[in-house]
A and B are shown apart, each in its own frame.
Chain A
Amino acid sequence: MPLQTAVLVGAGDVGNCDNDSGRHAQETGRLLDKIDGTVFVAGDAAYLHGNAAEFAGCFDPAWGRHKARMRPSPGNHEYVTPGATAYFDYFGGNAGAAGLGFYSYNLGAWHVVSLNSSAPAAAGSEQYVWLQGDLAINRDARCTLAYFHFPRFTSGTTRDGLAMIDIWRLLYNSGVDVVVSAHHHGYERFDPQDADGLPNPASGVREFVAGSGGAPLYPFMGIAPNSAQRISAYGVLKLTLRNDDYDWEFIEAGTEALLDRGTAVCH
């Protein structure tokens, strides 16, 4: 297979007009101006209610110019508006089928899955069954990445994402390499682990939390097991995806400093 390189960059928890008049979301948006590739939004794109006015007034001015290359995932603030209708209206087909909030696509040599952690995700749920089928169809993909809003693991104040534990187990058992989440407002990187949080350097899933898009930062509450890096800063996570491996960089808004970086090989 010829060498393919693709970039997936983004964050969650973005457009908050009440946080310093949205300045931080505008700064992370300016980072995107300088980075080509697909932009992921790991939920909570528009605060506080995820309604149309907030998408138009708080998210769009900051990140909206990249909308054509965005592949979002919904968060809990989108669902403050019943059915997350404003989210589906704003992103249109880029958010997958309206009302579902989960879909997949290929990016370079990678298979990428966007999930809806605000929708039922237990074993047997519509989303779970769809994911089983999607991963089975794409089992030949050398590298796979999934993203959704609620983190399964976090050192933050938010509760661990037990709602996604069945999904996580499925992702782990299917050999998924990377999971990106948000919800905790900050950046965190975990070492590869299984769905129960046990370290597994060989075949574990590496989780990133990138809730650093512009909403007010939350404090970390201690250090969760396997947590390798925790940064309270606004910024975007840039993943450079190659055929057999990937780079990660957490780029701080404003300074453009690389606060975290590394390389890993797919399973």
Chain B
Amino acid sequence: MKPGPKRCSIEAPPSAIEIGDGSAPDGQGCRFDRTDTRQSRRPDTRQFGELAARGLFALAILLLLFGSGVHAQSDNRIALGANVSLRDTADAGVRGRDGVGLLCRFGSGDTGWGWDWGLNWVSADITRHIGGSLVQLGEMHLRPVMVGYGYDYRRGRQLYFASVVAGYAFVSMSLAPAAVDAYHDRLGARSVSVKTPNTLAVRPEIGVWHDLAEKIGVNVSASYLMARPLVTVRTATGEDDHHIRADMFQIKVGIVYSIF
């Protein structure tokens, strides 16, 4: 078993992208993505499949172009790049948006166990029934801070990895005008407020790094973020609890270039 952190995964909002380093020199990757789940832009299953297929096709092209007769990214210390995230959610009232994020990689990794950690930024448009009608409740922000453990397996120029991270998720929510109007129209509530206690989050992830060239590496990973925040809407007539299943499945495809 290897001591120290091996891998970090950071997902940040576009306005707050920060480069952090929790990795040891043999660490593997550090991702900076925005996770934004919104009702109005949820891809259906077909769209999601098409996007995933396009991402994998692009990766296959890269492998064909660079996949033979080149050196591994074995001398890499820090590599920077970008990734594309394809996302879907488990709850029909929570919707996901695909996105582009920064991607970095520390070292090239080797077989063994190691610590992992991750930060996420999840935004979700929540719809719920209010007074018998389905309306947009508001936008929820979920910011989990997670640590865990993972295993890497080096086979030639591929490094396979699997990890589970868990932690505490900071939750906030802004009500939508439609929710305020719905509580007013259907329940007679003039003033509406919302309370969202923090919750726990867990994220298993599997993936692979492929060393395309001496300075180029590509990454494909799949993860499932689990979080079940509670939203309590307060009006003069009482409290209304909404249990939100903010689970999200993600596939990411990325490429990095060694700068050190």
Interface residues of A (CB under 8 A from B): 13, 16, 18, 44, 47-48, 76-77, 79-80, 82, 118, 157-159, 183, 185, 215-216, 218
Contact = CB atoms under 8 A, between A and B. Distances in A.
A216 B185 contact: no
Interface in B173-200: 174-178, 180-182, 184-186, 190-192
Nearest to B185: A159
A80 B186 contact: no
Contacts, number: 40
Interface in B102-137: 133, 135-136
Given A76-B190, A157-B133, A48 B181 contact: no
A80 B192 contact: yes
Given A76-B190, A157-B178, 7 more contacts: A76-B180, A77-B180, A80-B180, A118-B190, A185-B177, A216-B136, A216-B177
A157 B184 CA distance: 12
Contacts of B184: 76
Closest 10 CB pairs of A and B: A159-B185, A76-B184, A158-B185, A215-B177, A80-B191, A47-B177, A79-B190, A157-B133, A158-B181, A216-B177
B173 to A, nearest CB: 12
Contacts of A159: 185-186
A79 B139 CA distance: 22
Given A76-B190, A80-B190, A80-B192, A157 B182 contact: yes
A48 B180 contact: yes
Interface of B: 133, 135-136, 139, 174-178, 180-182, 184-186, 190-192
A72 B191 CA distance: 21
Contacts of B180: 48, 76-77, 80
Nearest to A80: B191
Given A76-B190, A80-B190, A16 B177 contact: yes
Nearest to A19: B177
Contacts of B178: 157, 185, 216, 218
Contacts of B191: 80, 82
B179 to A, nearest CB: 9
| Most chain A beta carbons < 10 A, residue from B135, B139, B176, B186 | B176
A208 to B, nearest CB: 19
B176 A216 contact: yes
A18 B181 contact: no
A18 B178 CA distance: 13
B3 to A, nearest CB: 46
Contacts of A47: 177
Contacts of A215: 177
Given A16-B177, A18-B174, A80-B180, A157 B135 contact: yes
A76 B187 CA distance: 13
B137 to A, nearest CB: 13
B192 to A, nearest CB: 7
B174 A76 contact: no
A79 B174 CA distance: 18
A183 B190 contact: no
A183 to B, nearest CB: 7
Contacts of B176: 216
A82 B180 CA distance: 15
Contacts of A18: 139, 174
A77 B181 CA distance: 8
Nearest to A76: B184
Contact of B181 (A79, A82, A183): A183
A229 B257 CA distance: 56
Contacts of B186: 159
A220 to B, nearest CB: 13
Contacts of B136: 216
Nearest to A77: B180
Contacts of A185: 177-178
A16 to B, nearest CB: 6
Nearest to A183: B181
A159 B192 CA distance: 18
Nearest to A185: B177
8 contacts: A13-B177, A44-B177, A76-B181, A77-B180, A118-B190, A158-B181, A185-B178, A216-B178
Contacts of B181: 76, 158, 183
A145 B77 CA distance: 73
A16 B178 CA distance: 12
A48 B133 contact: no
B190 to A, nearest CB: 6
B194 to A, nearest CB: 11
A77 B185 contact: no
Contacts of A16: 177
B182 A48 contact: no
A218 B127 CA distance: 13
B133 A77 contact: no
